[in-house]
Amino acid sequence: MSASKKPLAPDDFPVTTDRQKIKKQDGEPIATTEDHETAADLAERINDEEARREEDKWSA
């Protein structure tokens, strides 16, 4: 898997997939995986983690 060096910002979420690529909201690819299933799984996990982080921020 290849990955971007820049950290993701809140405006980058939710991330999406396009075949093996994981992309930010503006369409910029942030990672490439070996297959679509892996990309979809990682995007879901990244989005879930960001949702939890945002929820924790507002519940504190």
Tell me whether residue 16 is in a domain. yes
Average of pLDDT values for 22-47?
A: 96
In a domain, 35, yes or no: yes
30 assigned to some structural domain: yes
Average pLDDT of 10-23? 96
**Residue 30 banded pLDDT, cuts 50, 70, 90:** very high
Each residue of 9-18: b (16+ CB within 10 Å) or e? eeebbebebe
Total of domains in the chain: 1
Query: Has residue 60 been placed in a domain?
Result: no
Residues 22 and 15: beta-carbon distance below 8 Å? yes
Identify whether 14 is part of a domain: yes
Q: Judge whether residue 60 has pLDDT over 70.
A: no
User: Domain range spanning residue 42?
Assistant: 2-55
pLDDT of residue 3: 60
Q: Is-above-0.85 flag for pTM?
A: no
